[in-house]
């Protein structure tokens, strides 16, 4: 059966128009400078720090960081203020007292910041997007560790430097005092960096195992408390002449940090950690080992399955 010729009935048809058109207005090539992996890594560090501090988020996300900063800076200002009027009086007799004082605040700070670094990316399934860019998995972990360490440094190191600076400025000859006490500043820098990396690495390790921030916070807080209680129980249970007893201190983050600061500033004379007979180098070695172990476990967590 022949089909009716609709074309003839409707008159001459116009030439068939093109079926489609490619719009390339939204797909312009990037022509700016290519900054490379290092810049990508640094961008991730900055972004992670902003996110953890609640920048560009609601007021609720900023409250806890602000409270913790106030809690750590206020005693320093009070200490310097008291010394200005009463030179003999002081809230912190030595710098290791200050590091022991801020340990709990630093611990809470890490417990709130570390889950923000890792859990959100896991829960929102955006890791594949990160790894499709210039950064590798090791870069990602390094950026998160650096971001956590920098933020933790702002809690530990900056107030300690303010304390040091305030004390030198209260001397009769500030420049001379600064020159004389430069070794203290070096110790403060070493203690601040090492303690921040140590606590940050532990917090990140725990956070890398869960996508839920609140569970990570709970486990970090509980982990610190259980570690302290376990170390206390072991010290109680082991005989005084048992060689292992000295190293049980590494189970307890507060005793490790306290012992390190004590040995660093007292040099093994007159500090409360003298009875264990461990030098600052041994404490530092233990803390670096913890950072490396945490980094290795996190890398294992983030390496591809294939």
Partner 1 sequence: MIAVLWRPLPILALTVRQFLGGKAVRVVTALAFIPCLFAAIYLINPDESTPRQFLVDLFLEILIAPTLLPITVLILATAALGNEVEDRTLPYLTLKPIGRLRIVLEKLAGVLLVALPAVLAGLAVTALIAARADAPSSRIGDGPLGPVVWAMLAAAAVGTVLISSVFLAVSLVVPRALLAGIVYTFTWESLLGRFLPGLRVVSIRHYVQSVFVDLLDDPDVTIANATSLRASLITVAVACVLAVLLATWRLRRMNLE
**Smallest separation (angstroms) from partner 1 to the CB of 57:** 13
Instruction: Check the CA dihedral 158-159-162-168 and report its sign.
Output: negative
Q: Contact, 139 vs 295, CB < 8 A? A: no
**Smallest separation (angstroms) from partner 1 to the CB of 231:** 10
Between 250 and 265, whose beta carbon lies closer to partner 1? 250
**Smallest separation (angstroms) from partner 1 to the CB of 226:** 6
Between 70 and 170, whose beta carbon lies closer to partner 1? 70
Contacts of 171 (CB under 8 A, 6+ apart): 177
Contacts of 28 (CB under 8 A, 6+ apart): none
How many C-beta neighbours within 10 Å does residue 84 have?
A: 11
Between 120 and 268, whose beta carbon lies closer to partner 1? 120
- Rounded Cα distance between 157 and 104, Å, is 15
- Binding region for partner 1 (CB under 8 A): 209-210, 214-215, 217-219, 221-222, 225-226, 229-230, 233-234, 236-239
* Residue corresponding to tokens 């049980």: 248
**Smallest separation (angstroms) from partner 1 to the CB of 218:** 6
- Rounded Cα distance between 68 and 99, Å, is 15
Between 92 and 224, whose beta carbon lies closer to partner 1? 224
- Rounded Cα distance between 58 and 48, Å, is 16
Q: Contact, 224 vs 255, CB < 8 A? A: no
Q: How far apart are the first and last CA of the chain?
A: 62
Between 127 and 221, whose beta carbon lies closer to partner 1? 221
Between 205 and 219, whose beta carbon lies closer to partner 1? 219
- Rounded Cα distance between 264 and 278, Å, is 11
**Smallest separation (angstroms) from partner 1 to the CB of 237:** 4
**Smallest separation (angstroms) from partner 1 to the CB of 209:** 8
- Rounded Cα distance between 9 and 229, Å, is 95
Contacts of 265 (CB under 8 A, 6+ apart): 94, 95, 96, 184, 187, 191, 271
**Smallest separation (angstroms) from partner 1 to the CB of 220:** 10
**Smallest separation (angstroms) from partner 1 to the CB of 107:** 11
Phi and psi torsions of 303, nearest 5°: -70, 150
Between 107 and 258, whose beta carbon lies closer to partner 1? 107
Between 160 and 202, whose beta carbon lies closer to partner 1? 202
């Amino acid at each position: 059966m022949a089909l009716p010729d609709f074309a003839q009935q409707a008159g001459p048809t116009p030439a068939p128009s093109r079926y489609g058109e490619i719009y390339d207005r939204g797909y312009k090539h990037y022509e700016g400078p290519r900054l490379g992996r290092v810049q990508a890594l640094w961008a991730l560090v900055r972004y992670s720090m902003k996110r953890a501090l609640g920048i560009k988020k609601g007021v609720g996300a900023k409250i806890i960081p602000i409270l913790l900063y106030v809690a750590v800076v206020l005693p320093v200002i009070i200490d310097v203020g008291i010394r200005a009027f009463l030179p003999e009086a002081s809230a912190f007799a030595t710098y290791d007292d200050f590091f022991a004082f801020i340990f709990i605040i630093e611990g809470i700070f890490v417990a709130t910041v570390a889950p923000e670094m890792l859990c959100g990316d896991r829960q929102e399934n955006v890791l594949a997007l990160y790894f499709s860019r210039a950064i590798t998995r090791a870069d990602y972990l390094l950026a998160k560790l650096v971001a956590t360490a920098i933020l933790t440094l702002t809690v530990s190191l900056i107030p300690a430097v303010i304390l040091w600076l305030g004390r030198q400025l209260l001397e009769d000859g500030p420049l001379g005092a600064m020159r004389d006490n430069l070794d203290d500043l070096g110790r403060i820098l070493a203690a601040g960096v090492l303690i921040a990396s140590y606590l940050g690495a532990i917090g990140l390790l725990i956070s890398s195992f869960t996508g839920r921030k609140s569970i990570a916070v709970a486990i970090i807080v509980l982990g610190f408390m259980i570690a302290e209680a376990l170390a206390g129980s072991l010290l109680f249970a082991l005989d005084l002449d048992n060689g292992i007893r000295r190293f049980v201190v590494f189970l307890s983050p507060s005793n490790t940090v306290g012992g390190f600061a004590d040995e660093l500033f007292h040099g093994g004379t007159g500090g409360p950690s003298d009875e264990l007979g461990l030098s600052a180098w041994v404490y530092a070695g233990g803390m670096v080992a913890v950072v490396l172990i945490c980094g290795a476990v996190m890398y294992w967590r983030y390496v591809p399955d294939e």
